[in-house]
Amino acid sequence: MEMTLRKATTADAGAILELVNGLAADQIMLPRSPASVIENIRDFVIAEADGEFAGCGALHVVWSHIAEIRSIAVPTGQRKTGLGRRMVEHMLAEAEALGIARVFAFTYVPDFFQGLGFDVVEHASLPHKVFQDCLNCPKFQQCDEVAVERVLREIDDDPVRGPLSRPLPGVPLPIIGR
């Protein structure tokens, strides 16, 4: 079987939704809305086996030094083939190329991520900005996912060194011209 990875196109949105939401119905992952997939289609990578759709995953940049791996999905018949591992490794390389220092995920299968060098972390150890999507999650008040993180490189997280060094609490924007 020839396995390849490629960037997603808008034509992949239907297959992504069908796979992810099918797994969500089985309580394996959280569902995605059509809007969330289409608006973030540039984040997705598609796995193909012999030229056919065989999985997906997304790398979503959250801030200047942190990104989230989302929606890693492989159909039941394609599991244990290495596709999930290859997608995560691909996204980690992409994160490094973007200058990302930390990559995290929320998952129901922490062992998979731990096998790729991720550590289980407390949800609270992640910046507040990470939880923006959580507000719309059906499990917002009772999150049962495990947070995992992989540090790609150490950074100085001192906010004095620049406005993009880390996400800060909401601060009103100055009004120009007053």
- Give domain status of residue 166, yes or no: no
CATH number, domain with residue 27: 3.40.630.30
Rounded distance, CA 1 to CA 34, Å? Answer: 30
- Give domain status of residue 80, yes or no: yes
Rounded distance, CA 13 to CA 37, Å? Answer: 6
Residues 76-117 pLDDT 10s: 877 788 899 999 999 999 999 999 999 999 998 899 999 999
- Averaged confidence pLDDT in the chain: 84
Structure tokens at 160: 């004095």
- Give domain status of residue 44, yes or no: yes
- Give domain status of residue 171, yes or no: no
pLDDT at 169 over 70: no
- Give domain status of residue 169, yes or no: no
Residue 78: domain span: 3-154
Are 3 and 48 in contact, with CB atoms under 8 Å apart?
yes
- Give domain status of residue 97, yes or no: yes
- Per-residue pLDDT band at 131 (split at 50, 70, 90): low
- Give domain status of residue 8, yes or no: yes
Residues 6-65 pLDDT 10s: 999 999 999 999 999 999 998 888 889 999 999 999 999 999 989 999 999 999 999 888
- Give domain status of residue 110, yes or no: yes
pLDDT of residue 171: 42
pLDDT of residue 138: 63
Phi-psi region of 51 (alpha: psi -120 to 50; beta: other; left: phi over 0): left
Q: Enumerate helices (H) and strands (E) in the chain, giving the number of each.
A: 4, 7
Cross-strand partners of 150: 103
pLDDT of residue 178: 45
pTM: 0.81
- Per-residue pLDDT band at 154 (split at 50, 70, 90): confident
User: Total structural domains in the chain?
Assistant: 1
Are 41 and 7 in contact, with CB atoms under 8 Å apart?
no
Backbone φ and ψ for 165, nearest 5 degrees, come out as -65, -30
Residues contacting residue 20 through CB under 8 Å, at least 6 positions apart: 29, 31, 32, 37, 56, 71, 73
Phi-psi region of 99 (alpha: psi -120 to 50; beta: other; left: phi over 0): left
Are 105 and 118 in contact, with CB atoms under 8 Å apart?
yes
